[in-house]
Chain A
Amino acid sequence: MAYSEKVVEHYNNPRNVGSLPKEDPNVGTGLVGAPECGDVMKLQMKINPDTQVIEEAKFKTFGCGSAIASSSLATEWVKGKTVEEALSIKNTDIVRELALPPVKIHCSVLAEDAIKAAIGDWKKKHGIEVPVAEKAAH
């Protein structure tokens, strides 16, 4: 399978690889996927509780090149956005940006889920109720 240039570029130079301290009250962690499905994404965000701005984002992904690129792109996109703005990112935006073929759409879905899961975790830490619609779509 040939990969789009953007997927290859993210694969070769993944952005924001790493981890943030999970225990930090301002850090939300999303871990989605499963090893037996061949995809696991961990997305973490450090969110300013006053401004609700995502100040930092880090990821680690076990998965194919498209999964790595989708999560790398997700960290790039959420950085500097508010929680509300980040929640409006749709998997279809990722599909378009990375020119993912139909067989790789699940990678973008996983990235969207990871964003929602990370924000959900942060909201939980701050006692904010997570609306059902924002929960990961599984």
Chain B
Amino acid sequence: MSVKLPIYMDNHATTPVDPRVVDAMLPYFTEKFGNAASRNHSFGWAGEEAVETARQQIASLINATPKEIIFTSGATESDNLMIKGIAEMFREKGNHIITQAIEHKAVLDTCKRLEKDGFEVTYLPVQKDGRVNLDELKAAIRPTTILITIMYANNEIGVINPIPEIGKIAKEHGIFFASDGVQAVGKIPVDVQKDNIDLLAISGHKIYGPKGVGALYVRRRNPRVQLSAIIDGGGHERGMRSGTLNVTGIVGLGKACELCQQEMAAESVRLAGLRDRLRKGLEGKLDEVFINGSTEHRLPNNLNMSFAYVEGESLLMGINDIAVSSGSACTSATLEPSYVLKALGVGEDLAHTSIRFGLGRFNTQEEVDYVIDKMVQVVTKLRELSPLYEMAKEGIDISKMKWQTA
């Protein structure tokens, strides 16, 4: 069977919308276009009904109740709202927030802004496997700590944090626990009750739903979490997020969650199988490849690998019919290699050689086999071109060389 090119294997960045999701959304662009806040006619009622169905579908996926779901424009907004909303509401109680080094920028930059505003933030380091150390978390708690915000699973390395344990620690100390669930929700079981999560950020487009829509879970019982809004206006979403609801997007997000709930068990097994095939294929045919982050506590669809002596961007250029991403500096605007890999203690030389594969619902075994062959071919070619590979083969320890740095 021939493979259709280009191949998309960057599903941590975004996912295509599932055709079943598109079908669910379509009527809400045209016939059922009503404003969900229009309480006095059938167009409005239809919109409101669709929104409430979506709320139910999302709540069901994470074991919450529909009233605990707030709609937003996406997970960046959800992250901002959960952190700034708690910070502002509970500022009198304390000014300390705990997070960790490899959060998404939507969390890190929000925390940095709060620091300018008088808050104190602890950025916990991560272990070599990419997970938060629970003893370090406990040690960081102060009487003034009001919020712990730690992601469920990382977007670069797919490593899953010990969330139930973190939730328990937060609860014992009476501290709110917020989690960026973007990469985990819909991919692995997430249960806000079992995990003691108080706030959870969700994105539509990472789970085969549309872009521009997200949700925030806000716990209503045990304890009831109150948030200050960051967007003022008509008082939608129980005052927590004003703005006319994006009904079509919300319908899509709801449907996407429903499909994830129905298919997660089978899909995660299938994706883990493809991921392991990819890993074994690459490890079997190439020497000096290294997996970044824990292999045990990892999303089923993620593989992040360093291909020593081959710079990531040149590798991407060689595999231009495959869409993946690299932790190489050259692929970022800042010319800095991935801060995530750096925090794991991956040397900058290896960070420059990393590739993130994000498998998804629509990837096939044929595609995986094509990617293995192509990767092996390009890595081999670039290693022949690499002075570092040549030196390593001559037995020179590159890490001990004195390099002329700019």
Instruction: For A117, give the chain B residue with the smallest CB separation.
Output: B404
Q: Which residues of B contact A39 (CB under 8 A)?
A: 311
Question: Which residues of A, 1-32, contact B by the 8 Å Cβ criterion?
Answer: 3, 8, 11, 14, 17, 19, 31-32
A14 B330 Cβ-Cβ under 8 A: no
Q: Does B266 contact A (CB under 8 A)?
A: no
A64 B313 Cβ-Cβ under 8 A: yes
A62 B387 Cβ-Cβ under 8 A: yes
Sort chain B's interface into a size bin: 20 to 34
Find B398's partner among A8, A14, A35, A42 (CB 8 Å cutoff).
A35
B404 A34 Cβ-Cβ under 8 A: yes
Q: Which residues of A contact B406 (CB under 8 A)?
A: 33-34, 37, 106, 138
Q: Which residues of B contact A40 (CB under 8 A)?
A: 387-388, 403
Q: Which residues of A contact B317 (CB under 8 A)?
A: 3, 8, 11, 64-65
Q: Which residues of A contact B321 (CB under 8 A)?
A: none
A33 B313 Cβ-Cβ under 8 A: no
CB distance from A86 to the nearest CB of B (A): 20
Using an 8 Å CB-CB cutoff, how does the interface string of B383-406 with A read, 1 for contact, 0 for none?
011111110000000100001111
Find A35's partner among B330, B385, B388 (CB 8 Å cutoff).
B388
A36 B335 Cβ-Cβ under 8 A: no
Using an 8 Å CB-CB cutoff, how does the interface string of A41-57 with B read, 1 for contact, 0 for none?
11000000000000000
Q: Does A38 contact B (CB under 8 A)?
A: yes
Count A/B pairs, Cβ under 8 Å.
Answer: 87
Majority secondary structure of chain A interface residues (helix, strand, loop or mixed): mixed
CB distance from A103 to the nearest CB of B (A): 7
B387 A61 Cβ-Cβ under 8 A: yes
Q: Which residues of A contact B330 (CB under 8 A)?
A: 38, 63-64
B398 A65 Cβ-Cβ under 8 A: no
Q: Which residues of A contact B208 (CB under 8 A)?
A: none
B386 A103 Cβ-Cβ under 8 A: no
Q: Does B152 contact A (CB under 8 A)?
A: no
Q: Does B314 contact A (CB under 8 A)?
A: yes
User: With A11-B317, A138-B404 given, is the CB distance from A42 to B387 under 8 Å?
Assistant: yes
Instruction: For B313, give the chain A residue with the smallest CB separation.
Output: A64
Q: Does B349 contact A (CB under 8 A)?
A: yes
B314 A64 Cβ-Cβ under 8 A: yes
Sort chain A's interface into a size bin: 20 to 34
B385 A36 Cβ-Cβ under 8 A: no
CB distance from A116 to the nearest CB of B (A): 12
Q: Give the complex CA separation of A63 and B314 in angstroms.
A: 7
Q: Does A118 contact B (CB under 8 A)?
A: no
B311 A63 Cβ-Cβ under 8 A: yes
Q: Which residues of B contact A138 (CB under 8 A)?
A: 404-406
User: With A36-B347, A38-B330, A38-B337 given, is the CB distance from A31 to B387 under 8 Å?
Assistant: yes
Q: Does A136 contact B (CB under 8 A)?
A: yes
B347 A19 Cβ-Cβ under 8 A: no
Q: Does B147 contact A (CB under 8 A)?
A: no
Q: Give the complex CA separation of A38 and B330 in angstroms.
A: 8
Q: Give the complex CA separation of A21 and B326 in angstroms.
A: 34
Q: Which residues of B contact A119 (CB under 8 A)?
A: none
B328 A38 Cβ-Cβ under 8 A: yes
A61 B386 Cβ-Cβ under 8 A: yes
Instruction: For A7, give the chain B residue with the smallest CB separation.
Output: B317
Q: Does B61 contact A (CB under 8 A)?
A: no
Q: Does A125 contact B (CB under 8 A)?
A: no
Binding site for A on B (CB under 8 A): 309-311, 313-314, 317-318, 328-330, 333, 335, 337, 347-349, 352, 384-390, 398, 403-406
**Given A37-B348, A42-B387, 9 more contacts at CB 8 Å?**
A11-B318, A14-B385, A33-B404, A34-B406, A35-B398, A36-B347, A38-B352, A42-B390, A62-B388
14 interchain pairs, CB-CB under 8 A: A11-B318, A17-B384, A33-B403, A35-B403, A37-B348, A40-B403, A60-B385, A62-B386, A63-B311, A63-B330, A64-B311, A64-B313, A64-B314, A64-B317
Sorted nearest first, the 3 A-B pairs with minimum C-beta distance are A34-B403, A35-B349, A36-B348
